[in-house]
Structure 1
Amino acid sequence: MAQGWTEEPGRDGRGLGEEERLQSMRITVIGLGLIGGSLLRALDAAGHDVTGFDADPATRAAAGAAGFRIVESVDAAARGPELIVSAVPLPVLPQVITQLAGTDALVTDVTSVKGPVRDLMAAHGVRRFVGGHPMAGKETSGFGAAEKDLFDGCAWVLCLEPHDTDLDDWLTLARLFTGLGARVVPVTASEHDTAVAQISHVPHLFAAALAEQILENPLAGTLGAGSFRDGTRVAATRPELTAAMCGGNHSAVQRELHRLIGVLQDMSESLQADDPVGALIPHLKLGAQARQAWPAAPGQPSTIAAAGGPLLDLGRSGGWVTAVNDTELVVLRPETDRNAF
């Protein structure tokens, strides 16, 4: 892996605003499903020189018919780009990584779990890696569902590991993805995995459990309306994708699932109280307050130095990067947290 970040802005001593840093990049996207296909479209629309590969011949044909340059193997995809984006599911990621070992290109990914990917990249000798995860998607999948505007306004995690992540590489990706309209959130892999278990992985499992009820009760399906629709939307995700996502993050998912079960058990006990209505209200108030305040309104734009420590403080407080300038970053923070810096 690259040497860890320091408080200096550039590995090679050049300023971050050098003209070559603003030019289009040669980028290969490996895996052209919803996220990879959308990224291929978005990067192309932004003026970058893009190449794609997918293991599925039909997907390669569809992407080629859409006008994109498509190659026939990972080896071919890895020849010549400045940046390689892995957009394949976690179970097949080791097969791809073995063919990237030794590449001089910067490598990132879009996998929904970050700790295992970080460890795989290190184990296979990928020298320049920055883990990424765009918080974007929809129920449909495949290249046919890809949209070039999918990432506009989304939170895009870029992992920043003390002593491992090269800050200059991190800033290159932050510049690239903010250029696509994303809000770049700097955190460590372990911090990311805990957070997504809470707000994505466990909700997928909970949605599946809720949706399953209507299989044995057609009446419930007939009466289902807004709360059932909203609470089960992600249950329509392909089971293989949800299983890979949750299984890949099993430690954090199990921990957060047990925590949620504990909260539900407390609510169950409240229903046995002499006054179940009054007993439930304190539990429900917390959720109502949290949901009504979400998403938090952003504060006023400000700037921070292009340095690792302040970036991690920003991400941990719920803030994000909106632009990368010569020697500083333009950032926003939740309004309630704006005075913490």
Structure 2
Amino acid sequence: MWRNSLAILLLALATLAPGTAMADIFLSADFALTRGEDPNSYEFTAAVPEAVGQPAPLRLPDGCRQTGMSRQTSGGRAQYAYELACDRPFVAGDVIQTPWKADGGRFVTNVMGSQVDRSLTGDASGIAVPVGETAATARSIGQIAPEFLAQGVWHIWLGWDHLAFVLCLALLARGRPLLWLVSAFTAGHSLSLAIAFFELVRVPVPPVEAAIALSIAFMAREALLVGAGERAFAFKRQLIVVSLFGLLHGLGFATALGELGVQADERLPALVFFNLGVEAGQLLFVGAIVATLAGLRALSLAAPVRSAALYAVGAIGCFWMVERVMGFGIA
């Protein structure tokens, strides 16, 4: 009875605070630089999540000043347009420091006649936009690798739905079976991530996101039944189910990677290192859960905490699914 009450309570809390129930909280920004009508004048535009998009000043390169600014909001995003005037052309090393604390972003410009489309990583100060990189020059693996590794790690750590599914796996199995299940999940989402990123298939995002939420509720229920002894742990069946759900989650990862700027000649290394970052973040999370469970077993608290966590995750997964289905016709 107390378990059912806990699940109902958590579902009610999730309903009352929908902002905390967002699954993918990877906050992505879009930046663009275009040339103005006068010499050394530019328009710098920024589209950021409205949750972090409060008005704040930019830090401009030396010799540049802001001559105008407008702000609009649409679809949950704040859209800024800045008019800039500079005493000189942009040079390598020039950066516009933006104040918004997004996790990553995309920068597009063609002011030098060649298209630049690249990803950006945020930090505690915001996102630094390298406006001096106005030519589409090839980057080395040493430059690409850390950028997309970091994006992969941050996306798995900030993607609550992906973490919730992995948590269910860690609460369903132990030891070698857990490693096999995590590997099956990895294989599934790595395959669909590659297929979707290279646009070999195109799947509408809202149904995929709803199905991901459903996969969490399903796996939480499965772990509860196995833990209660109401269902035997069928390893082969679980392996197949987890692999198929991995395909779904990979489509979600591909959506996030697609929001980041990736030049055509960087697509393959970007995919590889983003995927490696996702796996690194996932393994660290699994290790933390396993270590926590080991500590709880020493205190004889593993069973009640496990049950409470699964009821909570299942309730939140159901809430996400309903929320996403209700949003199919809105956007």
Q: TM-score with structure 1 length normalisation?
A: 0.26
Structure with the bigger RCO (C-alpha within 8 Å, sep 6+) is 2
- Larger fraction in helix: 2
Larger Rg: 2
